[in-house]
A = this chain, B = another copy of it.
Amino acid sequence: MRIEIIGAGAVGLLVASYFAEKNMDVYIVGKPTGETVCEDIQIERTNVNQSVTSVNVKYISALSNKANLIIVAVKYGQLHEVYASMEHVKDSIPLLFLQNGLAHYEEALALSKAHIAFCSIQFGALKLSEHHVAHKGEGVMKIAVAKGANDEFSFLNGLSSAGLPIVFEQDAEKMLMEKALLNCFINPLTAILQVKNGQLITQSHTLQLLKDLYNELMTAFPQFKETFHFNQVIALCEKTAENTSSMLADRLANRKTEIDTIAGAILKKAEQNEKKLPVLQTLYYLVKAFEESGEQM
């Protein structure tokens, strides 16, 4: 089986290493190091228990049109470039999207590809160097097929492992929405307050903010009340207590954040349903203001 992964960021490399470990032919699509267009590369993965696993993957400069699965692992902002690069790819090759948020959901489904699935990753990944990735925090890789045949993706079940448990979900949009909601609790607040995830639940005022935000979101999206409980928010803060959230890391590095794909997409969804989210909207504009100011006094 040949898997081509577009994007050599932390999540792309991590998934590549687990699939290569299961003897898949893994190709990372992107600019290879040096001049070679097809190069064998050893990538290393520091596991949660601090052991290091080495696997071999190949780098190619463009999609081959011979893959059994294409995984799209770039950030939302680079997706339009990726859509263009996939135009020549056969419609029958299944696609799996690994982005955060909801912003990519409808535009991906609008592609003329036959089989499209989405992924919601419940663990963290940190790139340590060009070919070295660290797996941060345990969690499952949720996959939901949104278009085409489930069968095209079912071989992924066999790639499930202790380090990367794979679970199939029924409703892709709901799965992405749940992850985006979770991100809405952690990311903007940690970025605004410059605190680690765990501090959100040890401080009384941030806990109050989390509760206000939870009540606001559940009022706007009552269909989640049954499955999405406040203690999931608490559990995520506990589990990732020592983590610097991706949005805070982006802020500290003066990078553009994912606020639009996470909170922006949920605000849009609420607006479509004629619901207001003043708390989330306030956090959204504050993060946008940081980006706009460049933080200069």
Contact = CB atoms under 8 A, between A and B. Distances in A.
- Among A192, A205, A206, the one with the most B-chain Cβ atoms within 10 Å of its Cβ is A205
Contacts of A209: 282, 285-286, 289
- Number of copies of this chain in the oligomer? 2
A270 to B, nearest CB: 13
Given A205-B288, A289-B206, A212 B295 contact: no
Interface in A265-297: 278-279, 281-283, 285-286, 288-290, 292-293, 295, 297
A68 interface: no
A282 B212 contact: yes
A205 B278 contact: no
A204 B279 CA distance: 18
Interface stretch (A13-21, A43-51, A179-187, A193-201): A193-201
- Among A278, A282, A292, the one with the most B-chain Cβ atoms within 10 Å of its Cβ is A282
A216 interface: yes
A203 interface: yes
Nearest to A277: B278
Given A209-B286, A286-B209, A203 B279 contact: no
A7 to B, nearest CB: 29
